[in-house]
Amino acid sequence: MKTLKNVTCALLCTLILYACSDTNEVEPDADPIADEAVDENTDDEAPEEGAKTASLLVFTKTKGFRHGSIEKGVATLVELGENNDFTISETDDATDFNTENLEQYQGVVFLSTTGDVLTNGQQLAFERYIQNGGSFMGIHSATDTEYDWPWYGQLVGAYFNGHPSIQDASITVSNDKHPATAHLQNTWERKDEWYNFKDINPAILVLLNLDEDSYDGGTNGPNHPIAWYHDFDGGRSFYTAGGHTEASFEEPDFKQHLLGGINYCLGRE
């Protein structure tokens, strides 16, 4: 009988250990590299907020234009996470925007989303997530998303208002104390698709300003923010308009800029 008990206990322990080893796995089809990073930390006791490894949900659903750079962007975020103690779960499934799922993440990234991607219920779940201290990072066409959801417009900080062709431009660093810009010189020259904006939230704190004299097709004038952050409705928001091209995600300075945005979102400044 005692032997049977021991065998039962051993089986149970094995099952429990097996179950525990999967607690951080949020998506069965998540990137295997990301899963590996998570598995390294399964020895940690009761991971909680502020623990070493953070989890980010990267949302890539598009209802309008779909950028060819999305996959490269996801791979870049995964790589940054491997070296900087966070893991990435990519999804284009809007049903992941429910309270139970979102509360697993320390940040949610809209990576070149476009159009009307969330239902009203999913929008409410995301509003609650931010109001409970969550964080949001928008990349490129995150501002070309959800025009009929004013709360989102305030969160992301502006809406897309057209762009000229891809070209080189000069960017002025407005704030060199932020983790997303501290690595840059006063002027940053790079090539991308440069967005014009409308409905700019006056509360955004500008990190980078585009010099419209340095390229053709700017319509915002001397105040043309191109990356910013702000506290919003209980949470944090960071946005950068770069990232149209795959090449953007190969640029060391742009990658450091993205990492700084993530660190801000995670409260790691």
User: Which residue's beta carbon is nearest to the bound Zn ion?
Assistant: 244
CB nearer Zn ion, residue 73 or residue 157: 73
Cα separation of 206 and 227, whole Å? 6
Q: What are phi and psi of 19, to 5 degrees?
A: -65, -45
CB of residue 209 to Zn ion, shortest distance in Å: 19
Cα separation of 91 and 83, whole Å? 21
β-pairing verdict for 225-232 and 235-240: antiparallel
CB of residue 149 to Zn ion, shortest distance in Å: 20
- Residues in contact with Zn ion, counted by CB under 5 A, come to a total of 2
**Could you tell me which residues come within 8 angstroms of residue 173 by beta carbon, excluding any fewer than 6 positions away?**
181, 184, 185, 186, 187, 188, 207, 208
- Which of 178, 244, 262, 265: binder of Zn ion (CB under 5 A)? 244
Build a one-symbol-per-residue string for 57-86: x at contacts with Zn ion by CB under 5 A, - elsewhere.
------------------------------
CB nearer Zn ion, residue 90 or residue 193: 193
Give residues 175-194 in contact with Zn ion (rule: CB under 5 A).
Answer: 193
DSSP secondary structure string, 218-261? --S-S--EEEEEEEETTEEEEEE---SSGGGGG-HHHHHHHHHH
Cα separation of 258 and 266, whole Å? 12
- DSSP-derived letter for residue 58 is E
CB of residue 249 to Zn ion, shortest distance in Å: 13
Build a one-symbol-per-residue string for 191-230: x at contacts with Zn ion by CB under 5 A, - elsewhere.
--x-------------------------------------
Going from the C-alpha of 222 to that of each of 214, 219, 238, the distances in angstroms are 11, 9, 21
Give residues 4-33 in contact with Zn ion (rule: CB under 5 A).
Answer: none
CB nearer Zn ion, residue 235 or residue 242: 242
Q: Which stretch binds Zn ion (CB under 5 A): 96-104, 151-159, 240-248, 253-261?
A: 240-248
Segment (H or E) for 187 = strand 187-192
CB of residue 70 to Zn ion, shortest distance in Å: 10
CB of residue 186 to Zn ion, shortest distance in Å: 26
Q: Residue 38: what residue type?
A: V
CB nearer Zn ion, residue 127 or residue 193: 193
CB of residue 81 to Zn ion, shortest distance in Å: 24
Which stretches of the chain bind Zn ion, using CB under 5 A? 193, 244
